[in-house]
């Protein structure tokens, strides 16, 4: 696995194409360590998770030997998962731990584990229905069928499909990192936590975070840059 830092963006690349970038113990441990290092860097605004080779991560029916989805989902900054190919089983669970998913047109997704008597073990049964709804989640989990990129886009499993993944990564990176770093983190927090709260509780959390954001240097810079008709220079404070 590779970890690279470029300005305020960290890129994690699964780098074992010879075994389909399988999520084994070695990969899970490496992802956990990468997430630990990323969490210690307050200057980062985005994490891109992708893979080398022709698939993102495939595993036909075996159980994951680690749970890298936990540290990935726990990152304070958004995680953009760039799916360069198929993602199945634990590989798809890893993708679900991100905040946004984009893929190439040939990519396919599925949970074939039941054909070998294996249930998802890294959040697949919980994150999938929260993303696509319980009906589509049951469809994918119970049948084990493969979902192509077009269907994945239609049910909300992925956000965008692009032939040129690098160009789309660059476009989304520019858009996300242009916002207030604190605001971006708060959006991730309030949407994530709000899924498990009542509407009233979610609205209260939203209001509380807005109050905090109003008193930050970034908020002041946002107002100042607007009045001066220039781009903001956010510091994340």
Give tens-digit pLDDT for 12-35: 999 999 999 999 888 999 999 999
Residue 234 lies in a domain: no
CATH number at residue 222: 1.10.12
The confidence score (pLDDT) of residue 65 equals: 64
pLDDT in tens, 132-161: 999 999 999 999 999 999 999 999 999 999
Query: Do 194 and 122 belong together in one domain?
Result: no
Residue 134 lies in a domain: yes
Separation in Å, CA 144 to CA 109, 117, 138, 151: 10, 11, 10, 15
Query: Do 50 and 115 belong together in one domain?
Result: yes
Residue 78 lies in a domain: yes
CATH number at residue 92: 3.90.226.10
The confidence score (pLDDT) of residue 151 equals: 98
Query: Do 188 and 171 belong together in one domain?
Result: no
The confidence score (pLDDT) of residue 204 equals: 93
| Angle, in degrees to the nearest 10, between helices 199-214 and 181-194 | 170
Query: Do 131 and 219 belong together in one domain?
Result: no
**Domain edge (last residue) among 175, 191, 210:** 175
Query: Do 71 and 166 belong together in one domain?
Result: yes
Residues near 237 by beta carbon (within 8 Å), at least 6 away in sequence: 182, 216, 217, 218
Query: Do 222 and 111 belong together in one domain?
Result: no
Residue 221 lies in a domain: yes
Counting as low any pLDDT under 70, the low residues of the chain are: 60-65
- Rounded Cα distance between 86 and 102, Å, is 12
Residue pair 59/21 in contact by the 8 Å Cβ criterion: no
Query: Do 137 and 84 belong together in one domain?
Result: yes
Query: Do 130 and 45 belong together in one domain?
Result: yes
Residue 92 lies in a domain: yes
Residue 193 lies in a domain: yes
Number of domains in the chain: 2
The confidence score (pLDDT) of residue 62 equals: 54
Spatial strand order of the sheet with 100-103 comes to: 2-6, 9-14, 46-51, 79-83, 100-103, 160-161
How many helices (H) does the chain have, and how many strands (E)? Answer: 10, 9
Query: Do 91 and 208 belong together in one domain?
Result: no
The confidence score (pLDDT) of residue 84 equals: 97
Residue 237 lies in a domain: no
Give pTM, 2 decimals.
0.91
Query: Do 44 and 116 belong together in one domain?
Result: yes
The confidence score (pLDDT) of residue 175 equals: 94
Please, which residues bridge with residue 101 across strands?
81
Query: Do 43 and 90 belong together in one domain?
Result: yes
Query: Do 21 and 138 belong together in one domain?
Result: yes
Residue 236 lies in a domain: no
188 lies in which domain range? 180-227
Backbone phi, psi, residue 99, to 5°: -95, -35
């Amino acid at each position: 696995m590779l970890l690279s830092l470029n300005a305020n963006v960290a890129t994690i690349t699964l780098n074992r194409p010879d075994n389909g970038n399988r999520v084994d113990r070695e990969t899970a441990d490496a992802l956990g360590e990468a997430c630990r290092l990323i969490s210690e860097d307050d200057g980062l605004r985005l994490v891109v998770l992708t893979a080398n080779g022709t698939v993102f991560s495939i595993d036909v029916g075996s159980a994951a030997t680690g749970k890298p989805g936990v540290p990935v989902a726990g990152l304070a900054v958004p995680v953009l998962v760039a799916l360069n190919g198929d993602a199945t089983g634990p590989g798809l669970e890893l993708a679900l731990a991100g905040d946004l998913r984009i893929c190439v047109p040939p990519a396919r997704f599925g949970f074939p584990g039941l054909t070998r008597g294996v249930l998802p073990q890294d959040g697949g049964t919980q994150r999938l229905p929260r993303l696509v709804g319980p009906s589509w989640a049951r469809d994918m989990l119970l049948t084990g069928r493969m979902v192509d990129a077009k269907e994945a886009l239609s049910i909300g499993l992925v956000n965008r499909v692009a032939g040129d993944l690098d160009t789309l990564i660059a476009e989304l990176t520019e858009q996300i990192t242009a916002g207030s770093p604190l605001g971006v983190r708060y959006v991730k927090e309030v949407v994530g936590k709000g899924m498990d709260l009542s509407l009233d509780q979610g609205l209260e959390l939203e209001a509380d975070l807005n109050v905090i954001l109003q008193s930050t240097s970034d908020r002041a810079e946002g107002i100042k840059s607007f009045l001066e008709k220039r781009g903001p220079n956010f510091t994340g404070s």
